[in-house]
């Protein structure tokens, strides 16, 4: 190497200076630089350089980075994990049930955690002081080498379970998070912790051998599987059946140690912070051991390393599918029978018959025995999907899909086990109110009354939209904490024109502490009201007031009803919130059934739920009688 080449200048810099310079580089740039020569490879392998890269990802603060480093082999491995999971951070939703299906993904400990926010009422302490109720949905834990391990959370027979699986490559612009089943081929025994059990299906083995003629036996064993049929091409009944069978086989009961907090508490002093980190480190180590070896593995009794507990032999799956097909068909028949017994189901089935369409359940069409071949060809065959590999397992697939939306709310599929990401825009000078807000009805904010000791929590996403030459501010409802749903998910609670000042005065002149306050701005607009039906609400005039303390308040002009809002930091609220039990595994990921009551509370029957004075269990049948006519419109729309 010449004495005065460019690389020698870099090599002559102190580590601290080069770490500062590396802030102008991406992880990809640094990896490319390491390929230039051996000396530069050693330089960019510095822990200081990769610590800087980890810090630039901006997922966790400095203090947490140093604690997370204890769980991985290097800062480079930690950076690999942080970069891979960063696109998952944020708010994910599904439109069913109507009360809300909101999952917030946030950092845990060398992990990211999906937390469901439950519909709930807030007490007199309000949003800031009243703990938010949440339940775990899934975790993605970083391995020591920076790769990712996936755990779906669920609850069965009164016990907490985890369901291990894999994580597909995460698209950095992902907007859909899918729970799927993926076929795989078993790998070589040279990698025992990831090896798969041999399949006893000789026909499948011959297919694999014929497709890779000319390769050695060890090479054939480690060839990655290319699925002939995507999971999304299967019929909904097949997809549901596969996920149910796989979760029933790979589920592992959560030990007491692994059932503790998923992230450090908020506002701890240094001693309590270190205690939390020690417990989280121990919990993570236990989960990773369960992921690699299975629950209750004993080295003394079984010295050989077992096959991957996250993967199942297809021969076993076929037997399970055969056993479950009868019960699933019985369930479907019973569900259809129950559907026809209701007035809405009878009416819906009759109209479908007139239109020449078969009845459906939850948006899933039930095919008759005499369905045409054209309708059958719409979906791929299950055996074609299974022939792609010799083992299958759960997988989390974060992908980018072309989605349409209406007022910042994505249009969703009713028959996919999916969550959809809401676009979160950073507030800027011309869109200063963009972002997430929490609201309650009434003034002063959150003040209880004798007849209503708690206030329903509304979570709103405020966004901006250009329409007909004017800029509208739209507040989209993503969660509602009432007894039964009043407005569908994705409703615009109010829309105001920020270029049109309001001349209406604010009805009150003192706050909760009887102190006067100042109204900075007021914009004219319209707020949601009863209209043509549940799916087609009307609107009435009102005004949005910007209070000097940082609050927003929308006041309906005629009724003087007021929705008061403040900015939310969900990460901080969840860290000091109350955890409640999860739903059964598949429903826990995305609850697909339409419902107008608090189904999340209905499933969470543990003492931790009942002990909360703000948490009320509402039965699934609690729907106001006035909604039956509106439900008919829903049936027709499907």
DSSP symbols for 441-490: ESSSTT---SS-SSEE-EEEEEEEEEETTEEEEEEEEEEE-SSB-SS-TT
pLDDT higher for 490 or 355? Answer: 490
| pLDDT for position 104 | 97
State the alpha helices, DSSP H only, in 58-125: 62-68, 75-85
Answer yes or no: do 126 and 273 share one domain: yes
The whole-number average pLDDT for the span 42-65 is: 90
For residue 195, give its domain range.
83-314
Residue 350 tokens read as: 């009759």
469, 106 Cβ separation under 8 angstroms: no
* Domain end point (choices 314, 349, 377): 314
Tell me what percent of the chain is helix, strand and coil, each rounded to the nearest 5: 35, 25, 40
State the alpha helices, DSSP H only, in 254-411: 270-293, 314-341, 343-355, 373-376, 382-386
Answer yes or no: do 156 and 39 share one domain: no
| pLDDT for position 257 | 80
Answer yes or no: do 169 and 309 share one domain: yes
The whole-number average pLDDT for the span 505-511 is: 89
List of residues 6+ apart from 361 with CB closer than 8 A = 332, 335, 336, 339
In this prediction the pTM is: 0.79
- Whether 31 maps to a domain, the answer reads yes
Residue 374 tokens read as: 């054209």
Question: 152 pLDDT band (50/70/90 cuts)?
Answer: very high
List of residues 6+ apart from 298 with CB closer than 8 A = none
| pLDDT for position 449 | 62
Q: Which of 144, 134, 139, 129 is nearest to 162 (CA)?
A: 139
Question: 326 pLDDT band (50/70/90 cuts)?
Answer: low
Answer yes or no: do 34 and 152 share one domain: no
* Domain end point (choices 294, 314, 334): 314
Question: 312 pLDDT band (50/70/90 cuts)?
Answer: low
Stretch (H or E) spanning 210: helix 202-211
- C-beta atoms surrounding 114 within 10 Å: 25
Answer yes or no: do 160 and 221 share one domain: yes
Question: 494 pLDDT band (50/70/90 cuts)?
Answer: very high
CB burial readout 383-410, b (16+ within 10 A) else e: eebbbbbbbbbbbbbbbeeeeeeeebbb
- Whether 455 maps to a domain, the answer reads no
Residue recorded with tokens 């002559």: 12
Answer yes or no: do 28 and 87 share one domain: no
Is 88 in a helix, a strand, or coil? helix
- Whether 251 maps to a domain, the answer reads yes
Q: What's the rounded Cα separation, in Å, for the pair 27 and 56?
A: 10
Answer yes or no: do 200 and 278 share one domain: yes
Q: Which of 357, 300, 565 is nearest to 446 (CA)?
A: 565
79, 48 Cβ separation under 8 angstroms: no
DSSP letters, 372-435, are -HHHHTTSB-HHHHHTT-SEEEEEEEEE-----EETTEE---TTS-EEEEPPPPPPBTTBTT-E
| pLDDT for position 34 | 80
pLDDT (tens digit, 9 = 90+) per residue, 592-605?
Answer: 988 888 888 765 44
Answer yes or no: do 18 and 138 share one domain: no
Q: What's the rounded Cα separation, in Å, for the pair 462 and 475?
A: 4
- Whether 560 maps to a domain, the answer reads no
- C-beta atoms surrounding 519 within 10 Å: 14
pLDDT (tens digit, 9 = 90+) per residue, 374-431?
Answer: 444 688 888 888 887 778 899 999 999 998 888 778 889 888 999 999 988 888 888 9
Answer yes or no: do 157 and 257 share one domain: yes
Answer yes or no: do 19 and 117 share one domain: no
- Whether 134 maps to a domain, the answer reads yes
Residues in the chain: 638
| pLDDT for position 31 | 86
Query: 88-97, 105-114, 627-636 — which is least confidently predicted?
Result: 627-636
- Whether 344 maps to a domain, the answer reads no
Domain count, the chain: 2
pLDDT higher for 140 or 298? Answer: 140
* Domain end point (choices 314, 335, 361): 314
Answer yes or no: do 58 and 90 share one domain: no
Backbone angles phi, psi at 322, to 5 degrees: -65, -40
pLDDT (tens digit, 9 = 90+) per residue, 334-373?
Answer: 444 443 444 455 445 544 544 444 333 333 333 434 433 4
Q: What's the rounded Cα separation, in Å, for the pair 638 and 631?
A: 11
Q: Which of 95, 191, 244 is nearest to 586 (CA)?
A: 244
Residue recorded with tokens 């995507």: 230
Query: 229-238, 328-337, 383-392, 503-512 — which is least confidently predicted?
Result: 328-337
Give, in order, the Cα–Cα distances in Å from 132 to each of 210, 213, 489. 57, 58, 20
For the ranges 36-40, 294-298, 435-439, the maximum mean pLDDT occurs at 435-439
- Whether 492 maps to a domain, the answer reads no
Residue 39 has pLDDT above 50, yes or no: yes
437, 566 Cβ separation under 8 angstroms: yes
- Whether 164 maps to a domain, the answer reads yes
Is 122 in a helix, a strand, or coil? strand
Answer yes or no: do 23 and 94 share one domain: no
- Report how far Cα 42 is from the mean position of its chain's Cα atoms: 39
Helix axis angle, 343-355 relative to 627-637, nearest 10°?
Answer: 30
């Amino acid at each position: 190497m010449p004495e005065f080449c460019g690389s020698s200048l870099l090599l002559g810099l102190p580590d601290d200076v080069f770490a500062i310079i590396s802030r102008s580089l991406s992880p990809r740039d640094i990896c490319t630089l390491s390929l230039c020569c051996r000396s530069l490879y050693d330089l960019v392998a510095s822990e200081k350089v990769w610590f800087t890269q980890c810090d630039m990802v901006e997922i966790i603060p400095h203090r947490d980075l140093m604690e997370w480093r204890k769980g991985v082999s290097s800062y480079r491995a930690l950076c690999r994990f942080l970069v891979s999971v960063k696109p998952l951070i944020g708010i994910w939703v599904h439109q069913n049930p109507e009360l809300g299906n909101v999952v917030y993904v946030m950092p845990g400990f060398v992990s990211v955690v999906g937390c469901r926010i439950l519909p709930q009422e807030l007490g007199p302490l309000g949003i800031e002081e009243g703990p938010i109720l949440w339940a775990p949905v899934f975790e993605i834990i970083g391995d020591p080498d920076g790769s990712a391990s996936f755990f779906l959370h669920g609850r069965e027979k009164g016990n907490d379970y985890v369901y291990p699986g894999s994580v597909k490559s995460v698209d950095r612009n992902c907007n859909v998070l899918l729970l799927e089943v993926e076929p795989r081929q078993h790998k070589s025994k040279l990698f025992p912790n990831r090896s798969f059990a041999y399949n006893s299906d000789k026909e499948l083995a011959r297919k694999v051998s014929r497709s890779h003629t000319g390769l050695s036996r060890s090479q054939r064993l480690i060839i990655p599987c290319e699925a002939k049929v995507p999971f999304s091409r299967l019929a909904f009944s097949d997809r549901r059946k596969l996920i149910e069978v796989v979760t029933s086989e790979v589920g592992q009961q959560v030990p007491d140690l692994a059932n503790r907090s998923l992230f450090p508490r908020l506002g701890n002093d240094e001693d309590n912070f270190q205690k939390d980190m020690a417990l989280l480190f121990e919990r993570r180590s236990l989960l990773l051991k369960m992921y690699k070896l299975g629950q209750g593995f004993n080295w003394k009794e079984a010295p050989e390393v077992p096959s991957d507990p996250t993967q199942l032999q297809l021969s076993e799956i076929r037997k399970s599918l055969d056993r479950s097909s009868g019960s699933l068909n019985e369930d479907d028949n019973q569900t259809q029978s129950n559907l026809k017994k209701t007035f809405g189901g009878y009416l819906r089935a009759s109209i479908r018959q007139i239109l020449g369409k078969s009845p459906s359940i939850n948006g899933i069409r039930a095919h008759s025995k005499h369905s045409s071949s054209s309708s059958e060809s719409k979906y791929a065959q299950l055996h074609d999907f299974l022939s792609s590999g010799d083992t299958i397992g759960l997988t989390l697939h974060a992908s980018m899909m072309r989605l349409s939306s209406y007022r910042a709310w994505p249009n969703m599929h009713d028959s996919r086990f999916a969550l959809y990401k809401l676009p979160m825009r950073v507030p800027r000078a011309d869109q200063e109110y963009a972002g997430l807000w929490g609201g309650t009805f009434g003034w002063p904010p959150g003040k209880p009354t004798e007849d209503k000791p708690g206030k329903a929590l509304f979570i709103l996403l405020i966004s901006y939209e250009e329409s007909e030459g004017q800029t509208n501010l739209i507040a989209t409802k993503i969660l509602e904490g009432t007894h039964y749903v009043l407005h569908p998910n994705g409703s615009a609670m109010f829309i105001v024109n920020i270029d049109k000042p309001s001349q209406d005065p604010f009805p009150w002149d003192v706050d909760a502490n009887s102190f006067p306050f100042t109204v900075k701005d007021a914009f004219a607009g319209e707020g949601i009201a009863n209209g043509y039906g549940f799916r087609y609400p009307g609107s009435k005039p009102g005004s949005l007031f910007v209070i000097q303390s940082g609050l927003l308040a929308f006041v309906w002009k005629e009724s003087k009803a007021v929705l008061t809002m403040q900015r939310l930091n969900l990460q901080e609220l969840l860290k000091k919130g109350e955890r409640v039990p999860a739903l059964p595994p598949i429903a826990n990921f995305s609850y697909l059934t339409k419902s107008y009551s608090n189904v999340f509370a209905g499933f969470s029957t543990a003492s931790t739920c009942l002990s909360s004075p703000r948490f009320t269990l509402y039965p699934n049948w609690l729907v106001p009688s006035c909604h039956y006519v509106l439900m008919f419109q829903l049936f027709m729309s499907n």
